[in-house]
Amino acid sequence: MSPNKTQYITTTLPYVNAKPHMGHALEFIRADVITRWQKMLGKEVYFNTGTDEHGQKIFTAAELAGMSVQDYVDKYAEEFKALLPFLNISEDIHFVRTTDEKHMRAAQEFWKRVSSNGYIYKKSYKTKYCVGCESEKTDSEIVDGRCAIHTNLDLEVIEEENYFFKFSAFGEKLLELYEDNFIIPESRLNETKEFVKRGLEDFSISRLREKMQWGVPVPGDDNHVMYVWFDALVNYISTLGWPEDLDNFNKFWVEGEPIQFCGKDNTRFQGAMWQAMLMAAGLPNSKRIVVNGFVTGEGGVKMSKSLGNVVDPVEMGTKFGAEALRYFVCREISTFEDSPFTVERFKESYNANLANGLGNLVSRTMKLAETYLEKPVEVEHKFHNTLKDLLEHFEIQKAMNHIWAEIGELDQFIQEKKPWETKDKKVITEMVTKLSHIGHSLSPFMPETSKKIVEAIANNKISTGLFPRIDA
């Protein structure tokens, strides 16, 4: 990341056709970790998320629920908004909805600029469409007649006259953009490069209103609404006030460092389509696309609302605590590769690493400190260079492993020195100092836990019940 004093960080916008699932929680938490760390470095951060609320999938889901589409998206938008404080996400996060009037005006203005620059045209076509992905599928993306991701859904055949984006005009420019480690990890960057090198095809960016009414109207053509992805991607700049208020846009997008988190199934949309759209509109590109692997269920199958194999993050957080959920997402799930999530695995990790691990360590250390030290230990905190380097490269899991290695070292130190026998104040002071550094390091990952540890040390009091063991 650059030394810029401003930082822009955004998640993808969850699609509100059903309740939040663990994949959403993962992306919120990881983006929050980087946001909190950047603030610790003294940067002013604009942190963005929100909800994607247009498209056929939502229209159909609302009909099945017997609700108006607006009532339907309002309901789920509130659930996603409520998930943020539940997960201890930074309070100053901005929340944009693609049904907001401000966003819809921005999407229309974006369309006008791309069109006036000569990158939108109209033609008749026929294609195969996955409602689950809300995207067209080429033959290479189809397995046994279905989308490779949403294997439970039949593909739809669309045959109509729509507006198209000249995606094919941006191959060389995109490859130039990718020269600077634009997509992380490298494996996703290479996949995107190969996709672009194979040759880009123009894609449809509108739908006939008579077939799909729920969308942003196409400027100058009441018969069409915008294709959901073309509309939704604009949120990354509409949330900053573009085009009506350019102060924040210039401050965080132009002069800052726009970083976008997404899942690997979004890489093409974020890393190629959106970047070409920005070029077509004459606007600066993002600086980094950080791609998460999938959270999988049993058998390594992607956790997806469409597949019905999701785990409810609210249920898990209620049972084990939001901080435990943040721990699991940051340490037990691979940063860039697919990882399984099961309740049993979560519980085992909770008891071993939080209840018996960190929680027990804090309790033992502070009991000795309260008993044998006359006053609190004062510690000057500095963020460890190893952690800085790892987070600079978005290596969240490795950073957490580094912290847990320090926890293990402190445990070993205590076992060797046996302060409960020696009552050595120098040793106990060193224990508290080491614990204080651990607590400080946890701040971006587990902010409430970090706060409790730091406060216990400042007050020289036992911190009890940090992570009570769960046996049931």
DSSP state of 41: T
Over residues 350-368, the pLDDT tens digits come to 999 999 999 999 999 999 9
Which of 37, 30, 34 shows the shortest CA–CA distance to 440? 37
DSSP state of 301: P
What residues are annotated to the active site?
A: 21, 24, 130, 133, 147, 150, 302, 305
Q: CB burial class (10 A; 0-12, 13-18, 19+) of residue 33?
A: buried
- The C-alpha atoms of residue 318 and residue 254 are separated, in whole angstroms, by 40
Model pLDDT, residue 300? 67
DSSP state of 52: B
Bigger pLDDT: 340 vs 92:
92
Model pLDDT, residue 440? 96
Judged against a pLDDT cut of 90, whether residue 194 lies above it is answered with yes
Model pLDDT, residue 130? 73
Q: CB burial class (10 A; 0-12, 13-18, 19+) of residue 307?
A: middle
Per-residue confidence band for 378, with pLDDT thresholds at 50, 70 and 90: very high
Model pLDDT, residue 131? 67
Per-residue confidence band for 381, with pLDDT thresholds at 50, 70 and 90: confident
Average pLDDT in the 220-243 region?
96
Average pLDDT in the 383-403 region?
95
Model pLDDT, residue 291? 97
Q: How far is CA 55 from CA 73, 131, 226, in A?
A: 11, 9, 9
Cis peptide before 20 (omega within 30 of 0): no
Judged against a pLDDT cut of 80, whether residue 141 lies above it is answered with no
Task: Say how many C-beta atoms besides its own lie within 10 A of residue 380's C-beta.
Answer: 8
DSSP state of 15: B
Judged against a pLDDT cut of 70, whether residue 1 lies above it is answered with no
Domains of the chain: 6-292 (3.40.50.620), 343-459 (1.10.730.10)
Q: Which helix (H) or strand (E) holds 413?
A: helix 396-417
Residue 339 phi, psi dihedral angles, 5° rounding: -145, 140
Judged against a pLDDT cut of 90, whether residue 143 lies above it is answered with no
Judged against a pLDDT cut of 80, whether residue 254 lies above it is answered with yes
Q: Provide the pairing of β-strand 183-184 with 288-292.
A: parallel
Torsion of CA 257, 258, 262, 266, to 10 degrees: -120
Judged against a pLDDT cut of 70, whether residue 177 lies above it is answered with yes
Judged against a pLDDT cut of 80, whether residue 400 lies above it is answered with yes
Per-residue confidence band for 17, with pLDDT thresholds at 50, 70 and 90: confident
Model pLDDT, residue 146? 78
Average pLDDT in the 156-169 region?
89
Model pLDDT, residue 282? 98
Average pLDDT, the chain: 92
Average pLDDT in the 139-152 region?
69
Per-residue confidence band for 423, with pLDDT thresholds at 50, 70 and 90: very high
Average pLDDT in the 460-465 region?
81
Strand order from edge to edge, sheet including 156-165: 135-137, 120-130, 156-165, 203-204
Over residues 83-138, the pLDDT tens digits come to 999 999 999 999 999 999 999 999 999 999 999 999 999 998 877 767 666 666 66
Judged against a pLDDT cut of 70, whether residue 306 lies above it is answered with no
Model pLDDT, residue 159? 74
Per-residue confidence band for 68, with pLDDT thresholds at 50, 70 and 90: very high
Which of 78-92, 330-344, 381-395 reaches the highest mean pLDDT? 78-92
